[in-house]
Amino acid sequence: MILDKFNLAGKVAIVTGCSTGLGQGMAIALAEAGADIVGVDYVEATETAARVRGLGRRFLEIEADLLSIAPIPGIIEQAVTNFGKIDILVNNAGIIRRAEVLEFSEKDWDDVLNINLKTVFFFSQAAARQFIKQGTGGKIINIASMLSFQGGIRVPSYTASKSGVAGITRAMANELAPHGINVNAIAPGYMVTNNTAPLRADEKRYTEITARIPAGRWGQPADLQGAVVFLASAASDYVHGAILPVDGGWLAR
Protein backbone atom coordinates (compact mmCIF):
# COMPACT_ATOMS: atom_id res chain seq x y z
CA MET A 1 0.00 0.00 0.00
CA ILE A 2 1.24 3.46 -0.85
CA LEU A 3 1.66 4.82 2.71
CA ASP A 4 3.83 1.78 3.55
CA LYS A 5 6.28 2.94 0.88
CA PHE A 6 7.01 6.06 2.95
CA ASN A 7 7.86 3.96 6.00
CA LEU A 8 11.57 4.14 6.90
CA ALA A 9 11.53 1.55 9.71
CA GLY A 10 14.86 -0.29 9.82
CA LYS A 11 16.64 2.30 7.62
CA VAL A 12 19.81 4.14 8.61
CA ALA A 13 20.17 7.78 7.58
CA ILE A 14 23.26 10.00 7.78
CA VAL A 15 22.33 13.68 8.13
CA THR A 16 25.11 16.27 8.01
CA GLY A 17 24.72 19.59 9.81
CA CYS A 18 22.07 18.09 12.08
CA SER A 19 22.49 20.28 15.18
CA THR A 20 20.05 23.01 14.17
CA GLY A 21 17.94 24.47 11.36
CA LEU A 22 16.96 22.44 8.32
CA GLY A 23 19.25 19.51 9.16
CA GLN A 24 17.65 19.13 12.57
CA GLY A 25 14.16 19.29 11.05
CA MET A 26 15.03 16.64 8.46
CA ALA A 27 16.72 14.33 10.99
CA ILE A 28 13.59 14.43 13.13
CA ALA A 29 11.35 13.79 10.12
CA LEU A 30 13.39 10.75 9.07
CA ALA A 31 13.29 9.45 12.64
CA GLU A 32 9.52 10.00 12.83
CA ALA A 33 9.25 7.91 9.65
CA GLY A 34 11.22 5.12 11.39
CA ALA A 35 14.91 5.63 10.55
CA ASP A 36 17.88 5.50 12.91
CA ILE A 37 20.05 8.59 12.53
CA VAL A 38 23.78 9.15 12.21
CA GLY A 39 24.08 12.86 12.96
CA VAL A 40 27.23 14.64 11.79
CA ASP A 41 28.16 18.16 12.86
CA TYR A 42 31.16 20.15 14.03
CA VAL A 43 29.24 21.26 17.13
CA GLU A 44 27.30 19.12 19.60
CA ALA A 45 23.84 18.08 18.45
CA THR A 46 22.37 17.70 21.93
CA GLU A 47 18.82 18.78 21.14
CA THR A 48 18.61 16.72 17.94
CA ALA A 49 19.95 13.64 19.74
CA ALA A 50 17.36 14.01 22.50
CA ARG A 51 14.50 14.49 20.07
CA VAL A 52 15.47 11.49 17.89
CA ARG A 53 15.94 9.26 20.95
CA GLY A 54 12.63 10.57 22.33
CA LEU A 55 11.00 9.05 19.24
CA GLY A 56 12.48 5.66 20.16
CA ARG A 57 15.14 5.73 17.40
CA ARG A 58 18.88 5.30 17.75
CA PHE A 59 21.10 8.38 17.30
CA LEU A 60 24.82 8.08 16.66
CA GLU A 61 26.51 11.44 17.10
CA ILE A 62 29.70 12.07 15.11
CA GLU A 63 31.61 15.31 15.52
CA ALA A 64 33.47 16.20 12.33
CA ASP A 65 34.45 19.35 10.45
CA LEU A 66 33.16 18.98 6.90
CA LEU A 67 35.19 21.90 5.54
CA SER A 68 37.56 19.05 4.66
CA ILE A 69 36.77 15.68 3.11
CA ALA A 70 39.25 13.91 5.40
CA PRO A 71 36.62 12.76 7.98
CA ILE A 72 34.33 11.10 5.41
CA PRO A 73 35.75 7.52 5.34
CA GLY A 74 35.77 7.43 9.16
CA ILE A 75 32.14 8.60 9.33
CA ILE A 76 30.97 5.85 6.95
CA GLU A 77 33.00 3.29 8.90
CA GLN A 78 31.55 4.37 12.26
CA ALA A 79 28.02 4.32 10.88
CA VAL A 80 28.45 0.80 9.48
CA THR A 81 30.21 -0.47 12.63
CA ASN A 82 27.42 0.83 14.89
CA PHE A 83 24.31 0.33 12.76
CA GLY A 84 25.43 -2.37 10.28
CA LYS A 85 24.75 -0.41 7.07
CA ILE A 86 23.61 2.89 5.61
CA ASP A 87 20.56 3.52 3.44
CA ILE A 88 20.19 7.30 3.18
CA LEU A 89 22.58 10.26 3.03
CA VAL A 90 21.33 13.83 3.46
CA ASN A 91 24.06 16.30 2.47
CA ASN A 92 22.74 19.26 4.43
CA ALA A 93 25.74 20.94 6.15
CA GLY A 94 26.44 24.21 4.43
CA ILE A 95 27.60 27.75 4.99
CA ILE A 96 27.19 31.15 3.38
CA ARG A 97 29.54 34.16 3.28
CA ARG A 98 28.33 37.60 2.33
CA ALA A 99 30.36 40.29 0.57
CA GLU A 100 30.14 42.25 -2.64
CA VAL A 101 31.65 40.72 -5.77
CA LEU A 102 34.29 43.48 -5.90
CA GLU A 103 35.41 42.76 -2.32
CA PHE A 104 35.01 38.95 -2.22
CA SER A 105 37.97 37.08 -0.67
CA GLU A 106 39.63 33.84 -1.73
CA LYS A 107 38.97 32.35 1.74
CA ASP A 108 35.24 33.03 1.48
CA TRP A 109 35.31 31.40 -1.94
CA ASP A 110 37.28 28.30 -0.86
CA ASP A 111 35.50 27.64 2.44
CA VAL A 112 32.05 27.77 0.88
CA LEU A 113 32.98 25.70 -2.17
CA ASN A 114 34.73 23.15 0.04
CA ILE A 115 31.86 22.35 2.37
CA ASN A 116 28.90 23.11 0.08
CA LEU A 117 30.19 21.35 -3.05
CA LYS A 118 33.41 19.33 -2.69
CA THR A 119 32.29 17.59 0.52
CA VAL A 120 28.86 16.91 -0.99
CA PHE A 121 30.44 15.19 -3.99
CA PHE A 122 32.94 13.08 -2.05
CA PHE A 123 30.46 12.18 0.72
CA SER A 124 28.02 11.03 -1.95
CA GLN A 125 30.77 9.05 -3.69
CA ALA A 126 31.67 7.32 -0.41
CA ALA A 127 28.02 6.55 0.38
CA ALA A 128 27.43 5.22 -3.14
CA ARG A 129 30.45 2.90 -2.84
CA GLN A 130 28.99 1.60 0.43
CA PHE A 131 25.49 1.12 -1.08
CA ILE A 132 27.06 -0.88 -3.94
CA LYS A 133 29.12 -2.95 -1.49
CA GLN A 134 25.95 -3.69 0.50
CA GLY A 135 24.02 -4.52 -2.70
CA THR A 136 21.08 -2.54 -1.34
CA GLY A 137 20.81 0.60 -3.43
CA GLY A 138 20.30 3.80 -1.49
CA LYS A 139 19.11 7.38 -1.38
CA ILE A 140 21.23 10.52 -1.62
CA ILE A 141 19.52 13.84 -0.95
CA ASN A 142 21.42 17.08 -1.50
CA ILE A 143 20.31 20.46 -0.25
CA ALA A 144 20.29 22.91 -3.11
CA SER A 145 18.87 26.47 -2.97
CA MET A 146 17.04 29.14 -4.92
CA LEU A 147 20.59 30.09 -5.90
CA SER A 148 20.85 26.82 -7.80
CA PHE A 149 18.57 28.68 -10.25
CA GLN A 150 19.23 32.39 -9.63
CA GLY A 151 22.23 34.65 -9.10
CA GLY A 152 21.55 36.10 -5.67
CA ILE A 153 23.10 39.26 -4.25
CA ARG A 154 26.43 39.48 -2.34
CA VAL A 155 26.81 35.67 -2.11
CA PRO A 156 28.81 34.66 -5.21
CA SER A 157 30.56 31.61 -3.73
CA TYR A 158 27.26 30.35 -2.32
CA THR A 159 25.60 30.74 -5.72
CA ALA A 160 28.49 28.91 -7.39
CA SER A 161 28.30 26.10 -4.84
CA LYS A 162 24.54 25.63 -5.00
CA SER A 163 24.48 25.82 -8.82
CA GLY A 164 27.18 23.15 -8.66
CA VAL A 165 25.06 21.06 -6.29
CA ALA A 166 22.27 21.03 -8.88
CA GLY A 167 24.80 19.94 -11.52
CA ILE A 168 26.35 17.10 -9.53
CA THR A 169 22.90 15.92 -8.42
CA ARG A 170 22.08 15.31 -12.08
CA ALA A 171 25.53 13.99 -12.98
CA MET A 172 25.61 11.50 -10.11
CA ALA A 173 21.97 10.48 -10.69
CA ASN A 174 22.84 9.48 -14.27
CA GLU A 175 25.69 7.20 -13.27
CA LEU A 176 24.24 5.81 -10.05
CA ALA A 177 20.65 5.07 -11.14
CA PRO A 178 21.71 1.72 -12.68
CA HIS A 179 22.91 0.71 -9.18
CA GLY A 180 19.50 1.38 -7.63
CA ILE A 181 20.75 4.61 -6.08
CA ASN A 182 18.54 7.69 -6.26
CA VAL A 183 20.31 11.05 -6.20
CA ASN A 184 17.99 14.03 -5.84
CA ALA A 185 18.00 17.47 -4.24
CA ILE A 186 15.64 19.67 -2.28
CA ALA A 187 15.84 23.38 -3.09
CA PRO A 188 14.52 25.26 -0.06
CA GLY A 189 13.25 28.78 -0.51
CA TYR A 190 13.80 31.45 2.13
CA MET A 191 13.76 29.60 5.45
CA VAL A 192 13.94 30.80 9.06
CA THR A 193 17.32 29.47 10.29
CA ASN A 194 20.70 30.86 11.43
CA ASN A 195 21.77 30.91 7.76
CA THR A 196 19.29 33.69 6.98
CA ALA A 197 19.51 35.66 10.26
CA PRO A 198 21.47 38.58 8.70
CA LEU A 199 19.04 38.72 5.78
CA ARG A 200 16.05 38.82 8.10
CA ALA A 201 17.75 41.52 10.19
CA ASP A 202 18.00 43.73 7.09
CA GLU A 203 14.51 45.23 7.14
CA LYS A 204 14.52 46.33 3.50
CA ARG A 205 15.64 42.96 2.12
CA TYR A 206 13.34 41.09 4.51
CA THR A 207 10.31 43.09 3.35
CA GLU A 208 11.25 42.76 -0.35
CA ILE A 209 11.75 39.01 -0.08
CA THR A 210 8.59 38.36 1.93
CA ALA A 211 6.52 40.34 -0.56
CA ARG A 212 7.82 38.16 -3.42
CA ILE A 213 6.90 34.81 -1.80
CA PRO A 214 3.50 33.69 -3.13
CA ALA A 215 2.78 31.79 0.10
CA GLY A 216 3.27 35.10 1.94
CA ARG A 217 5.67 33.74 4.56
CA TRP A 218 9.20 32.39 5.02
CA GLY A 219 9.59 28.62 5.37
CA GLN A 220 10.23 26.75 8.61
CA PRO A 221 12.40 23.61 8.99
CA ALA A 222 9.20 21.55 9.29
CA ASP A 223 8.27 22.58 5.75
CA LEU A 224 11.01 20.27 4.36
CA GLN A 225 9.90 17.20 6.27
CA GLY A 226 7.48 15.80 3.67
CA ALA A 227 9.98 16.27 0.84
CA VAL A 228 12.88 14.61 2.67
CA VAL A 229 10.83 11.57 3.74
CA PHE A 230 9.54 11.19 0.16
CA LEU A 231 13.02 11.34 -1.37
CA ALA A 232 14.42 8.99 1.32
CA SER A 233 11.72 6.39 0.83
CA ALA A 234 10.63 3.73 -1.66
CA ALA A 235 7.89 6.14 -2.74
CA SER A 236 10.52 7.96 -4.86
CA ASP A 237 12.26 4.92 -6.35
CA TYR A 238 11.73 6.13 -9.95
CA VAL A 239 12.77 9.76 -9.19
CA HIS A 240 16.35 10.47 -10.31
CA GLY A 241 18.19 13.78 -10.64
CA ALA A 242 15.26 15.98 -9.59
CA ILE A 243 15.71 19.32 -7.86
CA LEU A 244 12.52 19.70 -5.82
CA PRO A 245 11.74 23.29 -4.83
CA VAL A 246 10.11 23.74 -1.42
CA ASP A 247 9.88 27.49 -1.66
CA GLY A 248 6.36 28.81 -1.04
CA GLY A 249 6.14 29.38 -4.81
CA TRP A 250 9.22 31.64 -5.13
CA LEU A 251 10.42 30.05 -8.40
CA ALA A 252 6.95 29.97 -9.92
CA ARG A 253 6.71 33.72 -9.73
Catalytic residues: 158
**Gap between the Cα atoms of 176 and 170, Å rounded:** 10
Stretch of 130-138, 167-175, 176-184, 193-201 contacting ligand NAD, by CB under 6 A: 193-201
**Gap between the Cα atoms of 71 and 45, Å rounded:** 17
When the beta carbons of 92 and 184 are compared against ligand NAD, the nearer one is 92
Is 149 a binder of ligand NAD (CB under 6 A)?
Answer: no
When the beta carbons of 130 and 195 are compared against ligand NAD, the nearer one is 195
* Secondary structure string (H, E, C) spanning 11-24: CEEEEECCCCHHHH
**Gap between the Cα atoms of 175 and 169, Å rounded:** 10
Is 184 a binder of ligand NAD (CB under 6 A)?
Answer: no
- Shortest approach of ligand NAD to residue 70 CB, angstroms? 12
**Residues from 69 through 98 that contact ligand NAD (CB under 6 A):** 92-95
- Shortest approach of ligand NAD to residue 10 CB, angstroms? 26
Is 34 a binder of ligand NAD (CB under 6 A)?
Answer: no
Is 115 a binder of ligand NAD (CB under 6 A)?
Answer: yes
Is 243 a binder of ligand NAD (CB under 6 A)?
Answer: no
Is 190 a binder of ligand NAD (CB under 6 A)?
Answer: yes
Contacts of 66 (CB under 8 A, 6+ apart): 16, 17, 40, 42, 93, 115, 119, 123
Stretch of 31-39, 60-68, 169-177, 236-244 contacting ligand NAD, by CB under 6 A: 60-68
Looking only at the bridges linking them, the beta strands covering 12-16 and 88-91 are parallel
Is 177 a binder of ligand NAD (CB under 6 A)?
Answer: no
Can you name the residues that pair with 36 across neighbouring β-strands?
A: 12
Is 143 a binder of ligand NAD (CB under 6 A)?
Answer: yes
Residue numbers at the binding site for ligand NAD (CB under 6 A): 17, 19-23, 41-43, 65-67, 92-95, 115, 143, 145, 188, 190-191, 193-196
